[in-house]
A and B are shown apart, each in its own frame.
Chain A
Amino acid sequence: MGRLSAENRQRAEAIVAVYPERRSALVPLCHLAQAQDGYLTEEAMEDIAKLCGVSPAEVRGTASFYDMLHTEPVGRYVFAICTNIACMLAGAYDVLGHAEERLGIHSGQTTPDGMFTIEEAECLAGCDRAVCVQVNHRFFGPVDEEGFDRLVEDLSAGRLDGTVPPHGVLNRVHRAVGLPARQPVSATISRNPQSAGAPPAGALAESAPSGDAVAKATPEQNPRKEKEGEAG
């Protein structure tokens, strides 16, 4: 992929138009590009730079500041394992160590088959279900070593496809409110092509596999995350 697709470019322009300053759209556009390719390609960063009236170095500088934005290719599934205090007390480092052993990679790396990336994360605001793990920004927890293994198996088998969208997708429903009316994209609620057929966001919890499969790994919608990602 690389460059922003025609559809995403149109959406990007609509997002830019929302802000009084072009460069304010920088982070939303980074999410848009990450949803397209799973990470921020150099080409996409160059596109964003043009759209926001900044230099590519400034786009990369901003993107690299945020843990949620990736400027290098990542696996299909990105595990963010929280090791902050609550999760650490609940055994986060055991889970992280186990994850590294199980997948044969270190935190920050991607498995050779391009399936999984592990990241060590600071508090994900899911302390009530420590150890908290995000997979492509979807919450699971509490997760222990076995729970992690099951997560890997379920993800590999595609059993969580309805729950865990491709990396970078924040919302399966694009927001329409706030975009200028003259922009064609605002006329309809468009669905991200990658998640076509997936149930609407609100139904995610119900559609999650239930029972033993993820006994200790219940998917959790975090309302705040949803809001943040709305522009994407």
Chain B
Amino acid sequence: MPDTTATTTTTTTTATPDTPEAPAKPETLAITLNGREVTAQPGELIIEAAERHGVFIPRFCYHPRMKPVGMCRMCLVEVSSPRGPSLQPACFVSVADGQEIETESPAARKAQEGVLEFLLVNHPLDCPVCDKGGECPLQDQAMSHGPGESRFIEEKRHWAKPIVLGPLTLLDRERCIQCARCTRFAEEIAGEPLIDFFSRGDAIEVATFPEKPFDSYFAGNTIQICPVGALTSVPYRFKSRPWDLEQVESTCTFCAVGCRVAVQSSAGKVVRFLGIDSGPVNQSWLCDRGRYGFEAVNARERLGQPLCRKDGELVPVSWNEALADVGRGIREAVSSQGPASVGIIGGARLPNEGQYAWSKLARAVIGTDNVDAQLGDGLPAELVVSLPQATIDEACHSKYVVVLAGDLREELPILHLRLRTAAAHHGLLVVDCSPVPTALAEVAAAVVPAKPGESAASVPDLVGSGGPLEGVDGSDVVVVLGRPSVSESADSVAAAAAAFVRALPGVRFLPALRRANVRGALDMGLAPGMLPGRVTLEAGRSWYESQWGSMPASAGLDTRAMLEAAAAGTMRVLVLLGADPLCDFPDRDLATRALERIPFLVAIGTLPTASAQLADVVLPAAGPTERGGTTTNIEGRVTHLAQKVVPPGVARQDWVIASEIAEQLGLDLGFDHLEGIWEEIEEVVPSHFGATVEAVYGPAGADGVVLPVSGVGLSLLPPGADPRRRLDPVATPGIDSVITQGAPMFAGFAEVPSGQVAESVAIEEAWAGVEPPALSADSVRTSGSSAPRPAPATFDPDRWPVPGAPVPDSYGFRLVARRFLYDQGALVQASPSLGKLAPRQRLHLRRKELQQLGIEDGGKVRVRSARGELIVPVELDESVPGGVAVLGFNLEPVDEPGLASIIDADEVAQTVRIETVED
């Protein structure tokens, strides 16, 4: 650290009350740590300061992402005070100038040993049968900081085990050391205090209220942070031992938050995901969907062999035969009805490289622009790529976050968690204006539900006089923008975005799109009229002609239009890239007609979905953890996906499949390995320029690259920083029983080479003075072409007019089709643990409406729309505003009539009538 700060009094700052945010770079304090003079930041906890200086203090309850409680006393160290040295909990006491700290003095050692011996008094020591054995902080610290032998020879307490805390969370009470990490997480971070300590003394236990299980999407985090084997998960329990595991750092691809994970496998099978502390994204937390979703990768029904329809049956064939069939189908369609008779639906879950390959295959080889990664349930690609973008960190640190989206806890759980933490503990003001208050409403500064279908009309209420955003500076506002309801058209949401931009200049957005790499898909041009690099077909035509050779003549169809054309008989080939329109498209009737009528249907994916059952050719693809590449999250952050296991059977990588099909069509996509594709992307795709292979595929420990790359946005590791990943903030040095591949990870503690002192430095700070890569139009590496690199699309509010007002509500209720984290989608249902957690369909109404309709809570009603009707039970839900009825999207098994048969996702608003039914 700079020696600018004197060792004299540094406790007061010179900032006057008038200039509260004087650019006061925090002064540093001088402390003596085990006899060594070091510096510390004001307010820093002793345990943190010591850790930065390479001194490990044992701990159990301390967790760097939660408030300290000083509960377990394991971290007692000797601290000087005016009255002489005293034992203090290092996780709870902040450093003070001139302080002398002894972490290994005889008194400190004795205290630590004493605490450990006490903790072990009632601990069963059943390590050989404990899931945590081998990676257990209690085990480790008993060896490193314990007395070595116990004097306790009495009988220990015995309790029934395991106790079911929640659907996937089990508790062994005997092993619990009462660190309160789990209960604090539930209360402080998740905001769902469903578990607490009961009783007192040696009878104390973690438990739930009767009939109120620990039913939280975030419950799995408590298992990860439990420092002993007290909490175990149903999916991992007794599955492996740490020394049998291999692990690699990757990104979760079950939604578009893009949490960083350690993918752990045993004997070639993925058995566990653990959250990695990626500061700008998930800060070590995961949702249970992401944590346990890997079960779908191991599912027995996984596709491992190409299938072709012969005599009406799908039968296994060789890749050659299947690919030849696909090639023939596409060639026939193109020669008979032109390239526009071929359409490609899906691809939002592919890695960027696969998406780019498919985008190139469609445009340059087949010649069609009929590509759409979204299934009529997302936002227009042009809107998403052109809106001023905010990162998750920027949203959390801004003054206001407006949520105009579905319930983020159900759609992008860790984004919900980050915003909730910021609102509950750091003063972020959340304005929830989704038509049905979301889970964030509880911590929101204002809850102003927009009328379903009239999102744009609600903006003046927010910014106008008396509104929660009246007179607010647009640069202080981030809008989380998504489809608040599948039955509210995307145009309505786009118009709302335009209204925000007009009313609040400087406002930024975070798109709330769910599918894992949907942001990458839009960036890679898997949307009609959009080419890779956030440019429109028209703007990018000449550039891509120079790069790829040829371009489709005109903009293509979106998913709905493709399905309509298929149903009308004007489409000849549909390729489903992991998409399952029968299940996921908001109009099940149209999807069924289209897929039944289309002459040639190709399904490429990991699972035999309902839609794949109708295909003529089914090609097995590698799934999550089985493929490398990169993925892009909602922020536009590109992170590396590492392959951990091999795909089942002969399933192939998506980009390989695209290349093979191109070859069948007589053209070479020019790819032979993943990094090569990224190199081409970096060179060709305007928005990705500067995001080099080195930056994106490494270095270890970086948090990815936010696009477009601008100076410090290229968040490579700051010089001198430890590239290893922190996996478990409690574990001790030197104990790392898991074999790590690729990026190094460590179980806990950064040991700094002696003599060298690592100071925690903000990335920006570390990069100060480092020249950002020069980015300008002329620095383009043109590969011999003279066409100018196109500019990314910019946002034009006038492009998104307010759609016509919804038709008068002759039907009485406005319908909100909301999403749930667990639904009947193929990925969730292929995971045995998660599939059964999908809720059953219910119509949510508030009490007043129930009474007016004369319906009992739980009684059945008929919901009738202009398109169809559905009979469902009602559920009383006081959070639903008046005149609104709420149904869940994709909650019915695909073979039963469901919500997708009564809504029209292109309507501004869906109105329904609710009638009682006679039994």
Contact = CB atoms under 8 A, between A and B. Distances in A.
Interface of A: 42, 45, 54-61, 64-65
B212 interface: yes
B199 A56 contact: no
Interface string B617-640: 000000000000000000000000
A55 B215 CA distance: 13
6 contacts: A55-B192, A55-B212, A58-B193, A58-B196, A60-B196, A60-B207
B195 A57 contact: yes
A56 B187 CA distance: 12
A42 B198 contact: no
Nearest to A55: B193
B198 A61 contact: yes
Contacts of A45: 209
B209 A56 contact: yes
B210 A55 contact: no
Contacts of B200: 64-65
B199 A57 contact: no
B692 interface: no
Contacts of B193: 54-55, 57-58
Contacts of A60: 196, 198, 207, 209
The CB with the most chain A CB atoms within 10 A, among B193, B199, B209, B211, is that of B209
A55 B209 contact: yes
A60 B193 CA distance: 12
A56 B194 CA distance: 8
Contacts of A54: 193
Interface in B320-341: none
A196 B210 CA distance: 34
A64 B209 contact: no
Interface in B201-220: 207-212
B197 A56 contact: no
B441 to A, nearest CB: 15
B199 A65 contact: yes
B212 A61 contact: no
Contacts of B195: 57
Interface of B: 187, 192-200, 207-212
Contact of B212 (A56, A64, A65): A56
A66 to B, nearest CB: 8
Contacts of B209: 42, 45, 55-57, 59-60
Secondary structure call for the A interface: helix
B34 to A, nearest CB: 39
Contacts of B187: 58
Nearest to B191: A55
B201 to A, nearest CB: 10
Contacts of B192: 55
Contacts of A42: 209-211
Nearest to B212: A56
Nearest to A61: B196
Contacts, number: 38
Nearest to A59: B209
A58 B194 CA distance: 8
B210 A64 contact: no
B194 A64 contact: no
B208 A64 contact: no
A189 B559 CA distance: 72
A61 B197 CA distance: 5
Nearest to A65: B200
Given A56-B212, A60-B196, A60-B209, 19 more contacts: A45-B209, A55-B192, A55-B193, A55-B194, A55-B196, A55-B209, A55-B212, A57-B193, A57-B196, A57-B207, A58-B196, A59-B209, A60-B198, A60-B207, A61-B196, A61-B198, A64-B198, A65-B197, A65-B200
B176 to A, nearest CB: 14
A57 B195 CA distance: 6
Most A Cβ at <10 Å: residue of B194, B198, B211: B198
A65 B192 CA distance: 21
Contacts of B210: 42
A57 B208 CA distance: 6
Contact of B199 (A55, A58, A64): A64
A220 B177 CA distance: 41
B179 to A, nearest CB: 15
Contacts of B197: 61, 65
Contacts of B199: 64-65
A231 B187 CA distance: 28
A64 B200 CA distance: 7
Contacts of B198: 60-61, 64
Question: Lowest 5 A-B CB distances belong to which pairs?
Answer: A61-B196, A56-B209, A55-B193, A57-B209, A57-B196
A65 B198 CA distance: 7
Nearest to A67: B200
A138 B593 CA distance: 79
Nearest to B203: A64
A63 to B, nearest CB: 9
Contacts of A64: 198-200
A58 B191 CA distance: 12
With a 10 A CB-CB cut-off, give which of A57, A59, A60, A61 has the most chain B CB atoms. A57
Nearest to B201: A65
Contacts of A59: 209
B487 to A, nearest CB: 33
A56 to B, nearest CB: 4
A165 to B, nearest CB: 26
Determine which residue in A54, A61, A65 has the highest number of CB atoms from chain B within 10 A of its CB, and name it. Answer: A61
A35 to B, nearest CB: 22
A226 to B, nearest CB: 24
B687 to A, nearest CB: 45
A143 B374 CA distance: 80
Contacts of A65: 197, 199-200
Nearest to B205: A64
Contacts of A55: 192-194, 196, 209, 212
A26 B892 CA distance: 42
Nearest to A42: B210
Nearest to A63: B198
Contacts of B196: 55, 57-58, 60-61
Contacts of B208: 57
A185 to B, nearest CB: 27
A30 B490 CA distance: 51
Most buried by A among B196, B197, B210: B196
B185 to A, nearest CB: 14
Contacts of B194: 55, 57
A70 to B, nearest CB: 12
B181 to A, nearest CB: 16
Contacts of A61: 196-198
A12 B192 CA distance: 24
A54, A58, A59 — most chain B CB neighbours (10 Å): A58
Nearest to B183: A61
A65 B211 CA distance: 20
A54 B442 CA distance: 12
A88 to B, nearest CB: 19
A17 B852 CA distance: 35
A23 B210 CA distance: 21
A58 B198 CA distance: 9
A30 to B, nearest CB: 14
Nearest to A66: B200
A55 to B, nearest CB: 4
Contacts of B207: 57, 60
A103 B196 CA distance: 35
B895 to A, nearest CB: 39
A58 B188 CA distance: 13
A56 B207 CA distance: 11
B200 to A, nearest CB: 5
B202 to A, nearest CB: 14
B883 to A, nearest CB: 27
A90 B866 CA distance: 84
A17 to B, nearest CB: 22
B551 to A, nearest CB: 58
